[in-house]
Chains A and B, each alone.
Chain A
Amino acid sequence: MSHTTDDRARLGIRESATFDRQTIAAIHRAAETGIYDIRGWGAKRALPHFDDLLFLGASMSRYPLEGYRERCDTDVVLGDRHAKHPLHLDIPVTIAGMSFGALSGPAKEALGRGASEVGTSTTTGDGGMTPEERGQSKYLVYQYLPSRYGMNPDDLRKADAIEVVLGQGAKPGGGGMLLGQKISPRVAGMRTLPEGIDQRSACRHPDWTGPDDLTIKINELREITDWEKPIYVKVGATRTYYDVKLAVHAGADVVVVDGMQGGTAATQEVFIEHVGIPTLAAVPEAVRALQELDVHRDVQLIVSGGIRTGADVAKAIALGADAVAIGTAALIALGDNHPRHESEYRKLSSAAGFFDDFQDGTDPAGISTQDPELAARFDPLEGGRRLANYLRVLTMEAQTIARACGKGHVLHLEPEDLVAVTIEAAAMARVPLAGTDWIPGRT
């Protein structure tokens, strides 16, 4: 029985802030099962985020551009430092790495369709490249992960870029997981694993350790692909300043920084919520590293982890990113957590807006599953259209803000266009607290 605040006041009962109901439920669950909680999604706790920043639109001291009349470009070139064939994307919003295995085949196809429709890239994941995904993706980034599941040189040559993955924001320092429910015959075949096992991926690469080795590894990948493909290095946001510097020294063309709000298909809850730093804190650290090495904008920075709106896109770029990547938001655009599945989410002891059991493969939306019946519910054509629409909205929103700030290209946004509404955000983003010229720790 639940009580309203008034009820509780009348009865004189009080919930502990430390041992709240969620905590109590988690302790009961642990006591009953003896194993940690594994779930999907990213950090759900409240964190300083892009919402804590605001743009200073133009007025007297700056003049704006006319919406719909004056151009505001959105294209971005990624990987032109060393690669013969850098990516030239129409919009600065890319699709983050998500595996076939974590996602159904039709869902991966939809990501390719949606991204291609608006001229941006999508990314493979921990499990290899599928022909459907390659076929539907105008620009496909091929992830090179510690597990090396499905890694082969033919697919490497088919890729438009290679992303060496050192970590992800949801679990920096952790390896991949895919529980048995999702290790279908096809997934097992692609990963060379027995069907139905609980897959635990390695967290370190099998043939290199540390930044000096990474330099040699990147060189090997370039030699194999005849220096054609841009090489990205992806890190989960932790010691971002040092990691970005080392990635650049190792030869990365593009650095991808994934904050702790970045999603996962299956990770321990304790890992998701307690390891890593917020995206907002990571971006300025990455930019500082690039600027000190005098490669800001030459080595491009892609930021991911909690990007939802065109405002988030614009803010990440204003702080110094060249592009963003979306994962969770892309899945939502495909139809994840849609209210139309409410009754089925209830049957899974969840609800639309709360569902995060991607590890179970029971997704009513047919996205994070390998169950053929559930996957068949998802229409990749409709999913692709929805994603393309969403990407267009993100882009138009970012353009709206950029024009208001007087910019002819979204990449012209800069920290000077931003203020913070909280002291924490001001300190992390290194922009002034709104209405002041105070940057905590700086001025």
Chain B
Amino acid sequence: MEQVRAFDLRAIPLRDVNSALHAPDLSGEFVISHPDGAHSVAVGMDAAVKVTVDGHVGYYAAGMNQQAEIVINGNAGTGVAENMMSGSVWVKGDASQSAGASAHGGVLVVEGNAAARCGISMKGIDIVIGGNVGHMSAFMAQAGRLVIRGDAGEALGDSIYEARIYVRGEVASLGADCIAKEMTREHHQELEHLLKAAGFEGDDTSTYTRYGSARSLYHFHVDNAGSY
């Protein structure tokens, strides 16, 4: 069994930690302690390893992650898992705004709430939020799935493209071109799979509503002037 390598951010500069995590042929398991809100913790990972961060992190934790399985035992600041490509990021607490922004792949789970702009510009990531999300979530979301077990703030899915949103609770308002859509068998199965992967197996998928693009703003047209 490989040894767990520990980094204490009170003792080791962040640069050294990230540099060690970028080493070629990286393997094993890593624990980062005392992040104390540091920004850019475990960014640019590109190895199938497990990283556990014990504590709260600042901006962009796990940014641009590839392959790694990153667990944050705490809250995450702005842009957790931004532009993630693959792997997984699991936030045990709450996440600030722009969680999973522009991410192309992988899975982001936030067990608590996520603030505004969750999944903004998402391009293929799957995001599961245990609680609520703030306003303008899934703004211009292009691809991927966003599951919200609680409520969504105003202007959900504004100018959305082909991403799918599932919400169990209330939606304060929908953004431009975002509409409620029918839940077919395919969608129930997809949602069930996503919830299971995020550890929320007990949810009844029939209590969720699916939202997506009406595709009415895909082309500039004078009739849409009021929405531009």
Measured CB to CB, the residues of A under 8 A from B are 33-35, 38, 147-148, 151-154, 156, 179-180, 191-194, 197-198, 200, 202, 206-208, 213, 216-217, 219-220, 223-227
Q: Does B64 contact A207, Cβ atoms closer than 8 Å?
A: no
Q: Which of B1-9, B13-21, B145-153 contacts A (4 or more CB under 8 A)?
A: B13-21
Could you show 30 A-B contacts with beta carbons less than 8 Å apart?
A35-B221, A38-B220, A148-B123, A151-B102, A153-B44, A153-B83, A153-B85, A180-B219, A192-B143, A192-B161, A193-B161, A194-B161, A194-B218, A198-B219, A206-B117, A206-B121, A206-B139, A207-B59, A208-B98, A213-B78, A216-B58, A219-B40, A220-B39, A220-B40, A223-B14, A223-B18, A224-B43, A224-B44, A226-B19, A226-B44
B70 to chain A, nearest CB (A): 14
Q: Does B64 contact A153, Cβ atoms closer than 8 Å?
A: yes
Q: Does A224 contact B63, Cβ atoms closer than 8 Å?
A: yes
Among B39, B40, B66, B101, the residue within 8 A (CB) of A153 is B66
With contacts A152-B83, A206-B102 taken as known, whether A179 is within 8 angstroms of B220 at the C-beta atoms is yes
Select from chain A the residue with minimum beta-carbon distance to B123: A192
Q: Is the interface of B mostly helix, strand, loop or mixed?
A: loop
Among A156, A193, A198, A226, the residue within 8 A (CB) of B22 is A226
Q: Does B102 contact A148, Cβ atoms closer than 8 Å?
A: yes
Select from chain A the residue with minimum beta-carbon distance to B222: A34
A375 to chain B, nearest CB (A): 23
With contacts A152-B85, A198-B220, A206-B121 taken as known, whether A220 is within 8 angstroms of B104 at the C-beta atoms is no
Q: Does B44 contact A225, Cβ atoms closer than 8 Å?
A: yes
Interface residues as binary, B115-156 with A (CB distance below 8 Å gives 1, 0 otherwise): 001001101100000000000000110110000000000000
Q: How far is the CA of A361 from the CA of B15 in the complex (A)?
A: 46
Q: How far is the CA of A152 from the CA of B105 in the complex (A)?
A: 11
Interface residues as binary, B49-70 with A (CB distance below 8 Å gives 1, 0 otherwise): 0000000001110011010000
Among A197, A207, A224, the residue within 8 A (CB) of B219 is A197
Q: Does B225 contact A206, Cβ atoms closer than 8 Å?
A: no
B202 to chain A, nearest CB (A): 32
Q: How far is the CA of A151 from the CA of B104 in the complex (A)?
A: 9
Among A151, A156, A192, A223, the residue within 8 A (CB) of B142 is A192
B38 to chain A, nearest CB (A): 10
B175: interface (CB < 8 Å): no
B162: interface (CB < 8 Å): yes
Q: Does B120 contact A206, Cβ atoms closer than 8 Å?
A: yes
B217 to chain A, nearest CB (A): 8
A398 to chain B, nearest CB (A): 39
Q: How far is the CA of A216 from the CA of B79 in the complex (A)?
A: 11
Select from chain A the residue with minimum beta-carbon distance to B121: A206
What number of B residues sit within 8 Å (CB to CB) of A?
44
Select from chain A the residue with minimum beta-carbon distance to B18: A223
Q: Which residues from B are CB-within-8-Å of A217?
A: 59-60
B212 to chain A, nearest CB (A): 12
Interface centre among A152, A207, A220 (most CB of B within 10 A): A207
Select from chain B the residue with minimum beta-carbon distance to A227: B15
Q: Does B102 contact A220, Cβ atoms closer than 8 Å?
A: no
Q: Which residues from B are CB-within-8-Å of A219?
A: 39-40
With contacts A193-B161, A202-B121, A220-B60 taken as known, whether A207 is within 8 angstroms of B142 at the C-beta atoms is no
B111: interface (CB < 8 Å): no
Within 8 A of A (CB), among B78-122: 78-79, 82-83, 85, 97-98, 101-102, 104, 117, 120-121
Q: Does A197 contact B218, Cβ atoms closer than 8 Å?
A: yes
Q: Which residues from B are CB-within-8-Å of A194?
A: 161-162, 218
Q: How far is the CA of A206 from the CA of B22 in the complex (A)?
A: 25
Q: Does A208 contact B78, Cβ atoms closer than 8 Å?
A: yes
* Given A153-B85, A179-B220, A219-B39, 13 further pairs, Cβ under 8 A: A35-B222, A148-B102, A152-B64, A194-B161, A194-B162, A198-B219, A200-B159, A206-B98, A207-B59, A207-B82, A208-B79, A220-B39, A224-B43
With contacts A151-B83, A179-B220, A217-B60 taken as known, whether A223 is within 8 angstroms of B161 at the C-beta atoms is no
Q: Does A220 contact B59, Cβ atoms closer than 8 Å?
A: yes
Q: How far is the CA of A223 from the CA of B40 in the complex (A)?
A: 7
Q: Which residues from A are CB-within-8-Å of B97?
A: 207
